[in-house]
Amino acid sequence: MGFWKHLRLTLEMIRFEHSIFALPFALTGALLAFRESHISGRLFTVKLAWIVVAMVAARSAAMAFNRILDRDIDSRNPRTKMRHLPAGILTARFAWGFVACSVLVFLLAARALNPLCFNLAPLAIAVVFFYSFTKRFTTFSHLVLGFSLGIAPAAAWIAVAGSLDPKILWLTAAVTFWTAGFDVIYSCQDYEFDVGAGLFSLPRRFGIAGALWIARLFHVAMVACLLALAFSFALGWLSLAGIGSIVLLLLYEHSLVKADDLSRVDAAFFTVNGYVSVLFFLFWAADMYFLRLRA
């Protein structure tokens, strides 16, 4: 099998197209930092490009690492046994090489952004890799996954501003709760397997019905954090409209999934959450643009 086919299979394995989930939140963090800073539009555009490279590289490394670490578990799970590594479609050696290259690209992007980003880059990689171990020892692995994505907006802020403003941590918290909520929904599919394999998850600890209620609470917390973020930065009505659209989408997401009917989990997980992140960015970017015009 040639290199390009291996690469295509690896991108399929890590669902490369789902980089869109956290990227709009990171871009929002960058826009908020640009609004508060005095850098030129040209420099901001360059930084934005490097932020996208860093985000995609970090997620790619983390997803491939997760697939490698979980390949034995995946081979025993009926839902995942046909994934590329357990099915033998892709070799672990190539996957490890992909992880190494992705980490290298991430470090190069961090170095291009500023010294603080480069100094914090190993910590960021450690956080996103750490998640892959957590299902083996903690019920709250979903929150660790959420935090792995949640650090993206704060990292984007640092990339633009060169320092951290605590106000942006409201967005880190929002993304953490959002991700944890939809990951709980997704993990309900593996309730029986997690029980049999001794893996840790909220569905295993509280049952599917209980876990779905916790997912709802996580998403309520997300909305509360977004409201705190909007007021912290004195944003306008478009940002509030964006939060309103997210509320409607989350209500729809939770309506798709019942404790006794998980047949529409994929629609709830992939489709709805893609709209959540993109609509959030569009509303908030428009809000900051019009506020800038009026300034």
In a structure prediction context, what are the per-residue pLDDT tens digits for the chain, which is 295 residues long? Answer: 577 787 787 778 777 666 777 899 999 999 999 998 888 989 999 999 999 999 999 999 999 999 999 999 999 999 999 888 998 899 999 999 999 999 999 999 999 999 999 999 999 999 999 999 999 999 999 999 999 999 999 999 999 999 999 999 999 999 999 999 999 999 999 999 999 999 999 999 999 999 999 999 999 999 999 999 999 999 999 999 999 999 999 999 999 999 999 989 887 777 888 899 999 999 999 999 887 766 5
CA angle 73, 79, 82 (to 5 degrees): 75
pLDDT value for 180: 97
First to last CA, the chain: 58
pLDDT value for 4: 76
Burial of residue 52 (number of CB atoms within 10 Å: 0-12, 13-18, 19+): middle
Task: Indicate which CATH number applies to the domain containing 69.
Answer: 1.10.357.140
**CA–CA dist 106, 61 (Å, integer):** 9
pLDDT value for 295: 58
Identify the domain containing residue 218 by its residue range.
3-294
Let me know how long the chain is: 295
The verdict on pTM exceeding 0.85 is yes
- Counting the structural domains of the chain, the total is 1
Structure tokens at 129: 């890799």
**CA–CA dist 200, 115 (Å, integer):** 38
Q: What is the DSSP secondary-structure string of the chain?
A: --HHHHHHHHHHHTTGGGGGTTHHHHHHHHHHHHHHS---HHHHHHHHHHHHHHHHHHHHHHHHHHHHHTHHHHHH-TTTTTSTTTTTSS-HHHHHHHHHHHHHHHHHHHHHH-HHHHHHHHHHHHHHHHHHHHTTT-TTHHHHHHHHHHHHHHHHHHHHHSS--GGGHHHHHHHHHHHHHHHHHHHGGGHHHHHHHT---HHHHHHHHHHHHHHHHHHHHHHHHHHHHHHHTT--HHHHHHHHHHHHHHHHHHHT-BTTB-TTHHIIIIIIHHHHHHHHHHHHHHHHHHHHHH-
